[in-house]
């Protein structure tokens, strides 16, 4: 007797991002599509706050397995109650909610202003907390891409740490670098190669390196003013027109807009399209 057992395995790993408004929602949509194009078998989760419109959430559902609302004010747990007395920390620490996705064994958090150029599933072989150096201060990691292990204990501990010690830059990166403070020297395996979080400003701060190694990049991170949705885009020619200082970034920005035009734009409501092109 041959017994064939069909087990449908749902991945215990997830890619996680965050959007608190529809602009970053667009970033998340392109990121989500870039992940699908990379052929990853893992789950896609986007954390959203009440600032994300209903129509954007519906569009996000077409590419993400889970659209999870996180709302510090509505939450009942103790860590969040402590945060209630410090509402100014809300936006900064929304990212910390990613630690509460405890249905997954391991996750990779990606900022909504990142884009995956090539399959990067090997990131799930890394341990918490793995991240790439920050371009401004390389003894700190950049918190736009990091490997972590969901845990309610870690979440509580991070919130308590935030309330007592704070963040030296007012954002999640300053907080996470203080919390995972041995990252700089303890374990080189927790240093992700820069190709997993190529900060876009490197293309002008170290152009020769970008020319030499740029083709190896697996994940690009459009930090600060280089966000693709902030560039001038011509809907007639479908070409992006970045400012002169970002000219070396043109092909990567164009790649973002190509995904936007082919996969996202046809799904958007006319109202949303008006917002994008305004």
Interface residue list for ligand UDP (CB under 6 A): 17-21, 24, 111-113, 144, 223-224
Contacts of 138 (CB under 8 A, 6+ apart): none
List the one residue from 111, 130, 146, 268 that touches Mn ion (CB under 5 A).
111
Could you give the CA distance from residue 276 to residue 42 in angstroms, rounded to a whole number?
Answer: 29
Minimum distance between the CB of residue 98 and ligand UDP, rounded to whole angstroms? 10
- Comparison of 24 and 79: residue with beta carbon closer to Mn ion: 24
- Comparison of 57 and 238: residue with beta carbon closer to ligand UDP: 57
Minimum distance between the CB of residue 100 and ligand UDP, rounded to whole angstroms? 16
Could you give the CA distance from residue 169 to residue 146 in angstroms, rounded to a whole number?
Answer: 18
H-run or E-run covering 110? strand 106-110
- Comparison of 237 and 259: residue with beta carbon closer to ligand UDP: 259
Number of residues this chain uses to bind Mn ion (CB under 5 A):
3
Could you give the CA distance from residue 204 to residue 278 in angstroms, rounded to a whole number?
Answer: 28
Contacts of 222 (CB under 8 A, 6+ apart): 113, 114, 115, 200, 228, 252, 253, 256
The token pair that represents 55 in the structure block? 């129509």
113 sits near Mn ion (criterion: CB under 5 A): yes
Q: Which range of residues in 16-24, 136-144, 194-202, 239-247 is near Mn ion by CB under 5 A?
A: 136-144
Contact positions vs Mn ion (CB under 5 A)? 111, 113, 144
């Amino acid at each position: 007797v041959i017994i064939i057992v069909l087990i449908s395995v749902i991945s215990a790993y997830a890619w996680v991002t965050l959007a608190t408004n529809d602009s970053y929602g667009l970033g998340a949509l392109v990121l989500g599509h870039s992940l699908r194009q990379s052929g990853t078998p893992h789950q896609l989760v986007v954390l959203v706050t009440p600032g994300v419109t209903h129509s954007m959430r519906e569009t996000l559902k077409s590419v993400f397995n889970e659209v999870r609302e996180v709302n510090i004010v509505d939450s009942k747990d103790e860590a969040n109650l402590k945060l209630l007395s410090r509402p100014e920390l809300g936006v900064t620490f929304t990212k910390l909610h990613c630690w509460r996705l405890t249905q997954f064994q391991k996750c990779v958090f990606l900022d909504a202003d990142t884009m995956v150029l090539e399959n990067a599933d090997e990131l799930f072989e890394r341990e918490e907390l793995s991240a790439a150096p920050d371009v401004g201060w390389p003894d700190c990691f950049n918190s736009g891409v990091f490997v972590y292990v969901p845990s309610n204990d870690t979440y509580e501990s991070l919130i308590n740490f935030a309330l007592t010690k704070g963040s030296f830059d007012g954002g999640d990166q300053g907080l996470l670098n203080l919390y995972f403070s041995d990252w700089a020297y303890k374990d080189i395996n927790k240093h992700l190669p820069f190709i997993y979080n190529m900060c876009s400003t490197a293309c002008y701060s170290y152009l020769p390196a970008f020319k030499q190694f740029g083709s190896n990049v697996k994940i690009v991170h459009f930090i600060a003013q280089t966000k693709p949705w902030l560039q001038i885009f011509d809907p007639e020619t479908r070409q992006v027109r970045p400012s002169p200082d970002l000219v070396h970034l043109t092909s990567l920005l164009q790649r973002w807009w190509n995904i936007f035009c082919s996969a996202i734009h046809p799904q958007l409501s006319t109202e949303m399209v008006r917002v994008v092109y305004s």
